[in-house]
Chain A
């Protein structure tokens, strides 16, 4: 009767409280013990008062007990006919219920007949002679409803799903049969670890046969004629309605119908219409009307209408009620859940899990299983807590389900392996119950649109080799440079050779030439991916509390790799994703490794794509995307350097980094780029800070100071006479402001970073250094003051917000300028430079 486990309760006869006798207090009257599963969802109660479920609301309080109502399933033929209405008042509830069981048993026997229409492709065979088609029944019902919903047959049993006996059970279906004779399985709620799942599997064949039966309960608009057996099954066959003269005609009319049932439309709609609205229904309703009027006051039209509405509602509710037992629902739920849940949510549900944590601000509130359970409850249309709205119990239950689903999920791979054997023994049919489940293709491994043959994934070394080959063949700037270098490199020292190389590098914004010298674009990209993999693995280990070993990551970074002309580590920073991963890499590096990689970084600064892009000399017209790149680098990588320098580096290390920068790079070129200038600023200002700091506590040793002075001299010499070059030309700044467009908060080029650089340069220098700096940038200083004063003049002539903006910009210009001037004890104010007091 039921789909899955329900049958076992009543043994082979399949007594189900709801399905056996819709109105009957079947289970209750039968005194059958209710298990937890039933009472829990309120189904126990439901079974008991099923017949008068909402009756007082529906029919008023004055309805007599035993006065049962039809909820419109065309079963009036069944009930009204064998038990003429006249008998009804004298039948007690219990009797009615028992008689209900009686009818139900009869039904089962009727069900025994297989439905040919379901199993054959040809036109269905003629069924028993007096069938009403669903259309007919439907029409009669509508008719009756229109007439005021007056009849009083007991509520209909929900349509019988096919009994298993009704269908040829395949002989291989042994487990299923065996199970039916066996003891009922323990309810899942009381014994969560009981082997419920395997039981369910055994029921699989049953499910399949049950499914077609369910269709009988579809709204009649579906596929009406296709399942005449449904109604035939639930209406006792041999009884002819008395006093229904048209009935015979109607049936004879219907007899040929089954043959044409494959066409969903009746061939003679008008005639049917007439028949449906004809005698039998009217007659019966009249009888019932009389009967009811004896019992209760006539209803006013409004009340009737109200009742109709209510009736419609109740009917809606009861239409499919009890089609599935709680156990059936549990099974479905568990099956669905088993597709979703995983043992390791971080592994298989990574995006969702982490996203939720980020959204909630890093708080992991509930366990994953609880979350799934809650989400499933919320979105599956499960009534929370059933009738009693006990959401907590429902949640608990659902968590149990999730638990079990995890078990099922664990079993899954094994099952797939055994599937063939199972099919051979006939027990592997469950897969098909809820749709086609293919082993090769499921929600976890969906069909791919793109098949990338693994053979094409050559090893890194191969790629590398081919890249080098390609760069040798194609006359790229890199190759060209090699040639020019080999022509006249005999006498140039190692240092100047490097300089030369870098001076060549910045002649092209195209980063391929640089990449070509560090193993090729593909190689660098694949390196980045390797690094990502290592980082992800380290992060996963960190999260699960395992030991993290960064050796593989360090190897992947290739910081110490001398094989390539340009360090691959520096080339990685050419790509945005390479920049973005850096903070996460640094999380796993120890101090020595960080220092080593930063040394490499500063040594090869000239090859850094971002320097070339952000220098006005090599890239006078930066594009939007390039500006974004510069921004990203500034926020991500500069931050790492600053935090490293300020937290864990000492004076000597900073000097070392600065030395690496000066020794191997063209400082005056680097200082033309915003990023480069920022990097230098960071180093020298940090050094200056430490010097000032240690002045108070412990004094730097004299060799340290002299080394510092030496390095500073070197830096200054490299910059001398080119200091003014740190100011980008007006065309460049205009271009940058223009490219930043409307998204930028400011509509002018922010020169603060330049004055910061000059300030820190002056701060570390001696008086003669400062004098040289001022000499060189004098024009810029006065230019800035003039610009500021001009803005004040303009502000006087304008009103409102623009004037405020101008005044603000003027103040900003003075502020930036004074960063530098204050170092030397000067201050610019109102168009004049004065001494700082």
Chain B
């Protein structure tokens, strides 16, 4: 649940999602679910010439399994808190 919990805090923030087929889509994260499926709004694609079909799309649903990376702004992450959360996760697994 850690990653789900983490991505929930990114809702309404702008992220860049790189898919496993190398497409990079920038957009505002609308929602995320437990499978880390993502909903993006106001999307834009850097390489318009390569993927012209995306130029008319405004929002998009991305299946979580097709995501390679999600690029985020550094200050969207509370690293200390994330460390704590990770430790808690590890602790709960040990139990």
Interfacial residues, chain A to chain B (CB-CB below 8 A)? 336, 339-340, 342, 347-356, 358, 375, 379-380, 443-444, 529, 532-533, 536-537, 577, 580
Contacts and interface: CB of A to CB of B under 8 A. Distances in A.
B6 A533 contact: no
B9 A379 contact: no
Contacts of A353: 5
B85 A351 contact: yes
Contacts of B82: 351
B39 interface: yes
B87 interface: yes
Given A355-B81, A379-B39, A350 B33 contact: no
B88 A339 contact: no
B68 to A, nearest CB: 13
Contacts of B88: 347, 350, 536
A577 B1 contact: no
Contacts of B89: 350
A352 B84 CA distance: 12
A358 B92 contact: no
Contact of A347 (B6, B30, B78, B92): B92
Nearest to A356: B9
B87 A351 contact: no
A351 B91 contact: no
A351 B7 CA distance: 10
A479 B39 CA distance: 58
Given A340-B33, A536-B87, 7 more contacts: A342-B1, A349-B4, A349-B8, A350-B89, A375-B11, A443-B35, A577-B83
The 9 closest A-B pairs by CB, nearest first: A379-B31, A443-B34, A351-B85, A352-B5, A351-B5, A352-B8, A355-B9, A350-B85, A349-B5
A352 B6 contact: yes
Contacts of B30: 379
B69 to A, nearest CB: 14
A188 B54 CA distance: 42
B2 interface: yes
Contacts of A537: 91
A444 B91 contact: no
Contacts of A351: 2, 5-6, 9, 81-82, 85
Contacts of A336: 33
Q: Indicate the member of A340, A349, A350 with the most B CB atoms within 10 Å.
A: A350
Contacts of B83: 577
A537 to B, nearest CB: 8
Contacts of B5: 348-353
A384 to B, nearest CB: 15
A443 B4 contact: yes
Contacts of B39: 379
A350 B91 CA distance: 13
Nearest to A350: B85
B80 interface: yes
B1 A444 contact: yes
A379 B32 CA distance: 9
A380 B11 CA distance: 13
Contacts of A443: 1, 4, 34-35
A537 B90 CA distance: 13
B82 to A, nearest CB: 6
A379 B91 CA distance: 32
10 contacts: A347-B92, A351-B5, A351-B82, A352-B6, A354-B81, A443-B4, A443-B34, A533-B87, A537-B91, A577-B83
A821 B87 CA distance: 51
- Most B-side CB within 10 Å, residue of A339, A342, A351, A353: A351
A80 B81 CA distance: 66
Contacts of B9: 351-352, 355-356
Contacts of B8: 349, 352, 375
Contacts of B92: 347-348
A443 B34 CA distance: 6
Contacts of B11: 375, 379
Contacts of B34: 339-340, 443-444
A347 B2 CA distance: 10
B78 A358 contact: yes
Interface in B33-75: 33-35, 39
A355 B78 contact: yes
Contacts of A356: 9
A58 to B, nearest CB: 27
B81 A358 contact: yes
Among B31, B33, B88, B91, which residue has the most Cβ atoms of chain A within 10 A?
Answer: B88
Contacts of A375: 8, 11, 31
A146 B4 CA distance: 48
B46 to A, nearest CB: 26
B42 to A, nearest CB: 15
Contacts of B78: 355, 358
The interface centre, meaning the residue of A336, A349, A356 with most chain B CB atoms within 10 A of its CB, is A349
A118 to B, nearest CB: 25
B73 to A, nearest CB: 15
A354 B87 CA distance: 14
Given A336-B33, A339-B34, A379-B39, A533 B91 contact: yes
Nearest to A577: B83
Contacts of A349: 1, 4-5, 8
A532 B31 CA distance: 32
A216 B34 CA distance: 29
